[in-house]
Amino acid sequence: MKRALVVGLLSFWSGAQAAYCFDAPGTNDDLFRFLRGSPKHLEQVNDASGTKDDLTVQASFQQKRIAELVQQTRFPDRTRLDHVVVFKQLGANKIEGRLSFPNTNLLMSPLNKQVESARLEAKNYETSPPALSLTYDAQGRLSTYSGFWIQMGSFLPRQVKATCIYGQQTVIETVNIMREYRSVSTTKLDSRGKPMFIDFSTQKYDGPLDLDTFIPALSAVYTSRTIFEYSQTGELTGARIHVPTQRNAAGELVERGQPETVMSFTLDRNSNIIREERRADGQTTTVEFTYDSQGNWIKRVARSPVKTISTTRTFTY
């Protein structure tokens, strides 16, 4: 439960939400799908102020697709293996990930021996249902995702189903996180592939409880729009996040209120975001990034009025 809380805070304090089908400013690439270049390995360390342990995720890649995830918790005096996920290619357009936990008989063994044992168990445990399943279209883009909810490469005890539909300058993403929410987002892109706005239709699982499934009913649909702002030279400058909307007589979505969050961006000469400033509910959160020569961020520092979370990444190409 503590791991779930910490991982949830990582997303909460950074202010970012997951995106499965598109890469947009202010979203988290939780599945490491939009990395630049061709990394073979990534180690990610999350250090939250006020905690004595760091959450570490090691990811391996093959042909730009995730091949393995290893989550560990680093304490001042030891490192604990949390779990291993091994992904298997099933044909050209599908991969499945199987989850394995440490062997309790090896808890006093060296860490590398525990990891190897868990890795072998995940590879050999073919009779168990996969923890994750991903399919891709002919162009290598994600079509469907189902399985555990992953944030920043780490598992949360929730089931997620996502589908992606790609059109001309449009991406439609449907995400259902059981007992959390269901969302349909439509992203409109310009001719250069930059996101112009995202329309959201969201329902939360906070209605009356179904006594047969013990799952709350979905609430009424809440519609909103996220609008990205650019300078006259095409540089990203800001965004208005989740502006409430409603449909007019012509059936078009129009704004009807103030955004939940207002963002401003500072870019480097390569158009990478090096600073985000988010203003919501009278509070300001900042996120600062440092990048490597490939254009992947290697350090992210998120600061809120009460907490600072530093995330570092080490890539092997």
pLDDT digits 0-9 by tens, 91-128: 889 999 999 999 989 988 999 999 999 999 888 866 66
Indicate whether 17 pLDDT > 70: no
Q: Is 37 left (phi over 0), alpha (psi -120 to 50) or beta?
A: left
Q: Label residue 214 by pLDDT band (50, 70, 90).
A: confident
What's the pLDDT at 4?
35
Alpha carbon distances (Å) from 197 to 25, 211, 313: 11, 39, 29
C-alpha closest to that of 97 among 122, 70, 120, 127: 122
- The reported pTM is 0.85
Indicate whether 302 pLDDT > 70: yes
Between 120 and 156, where is the model more confident?
120
Average pLDDT of the segment spanning 158-176 = 95
CA atoms within 13 A on the CB side of 170: 8
What's the pLDDT at 14?
40
Between 23 and 14, where is the model more confident?
23
pLDDT in tens, 222-241: 999 999 999 999 999 999 99
Q: Would you call 283 exposed, middle or buried from its count of C-beta atoms within 10 A (0-12, 13-18, 19+)?
A: exposed
C-alpha closest to that of 201 among 218, 225, 230: 225
Residue 267 near residue 235 (C-beta atoms within 8 A): yes
Between 246 and 267, where is the model more confident?
267
Average pLDDT of the segment spanning 48-56 = 86
Instruction: Compute CA 158 distance to the chain's CA centroid, rounded to the nearest angstrom.
Output: 14
> How far apart are alpha carbons 87 and 100 in whole angstroms?
11
Indicate whether 282 pLDDT > 70: yes
- Indicate the pairing of strand 17-18 with strand 27-28: parallel
What's the pLDDT at 10?
36
Average pLDDT of the segment spanning 40-50 = 91
Q: Is 6 helix (H, G, I), strand (E, B) or coil?
A: helix
Q: Label residue 64 by pLDDT band (50, 70, 90).
A: confident
Q: Label residue 48 by pLDDT band (50, 70, 90).
A: confident
Residue 133 near residue 142 (C-beta atoms within 8 A): no
> How far apart are alpha carbons 217 and 207 in whole angstroms?
4
Per DSSP, 261 falls in state E
What's the pLDDT at 1?
32
Q: Label residue 248 by pLDDT band (50, 70, 90).
A: confident
Question: Can you read off the two tokens belonging to residue 296?
Answer: 């992947």
What's the pLDDT at 9?
34
Alpha carbon distance, N-terminus to C-terminus of the chain: 34
Indicate whether 81 pLDDT > 60: yes
What's the pLDDT at 59?
96
**Strand-pair partners of 95:** 89, 134
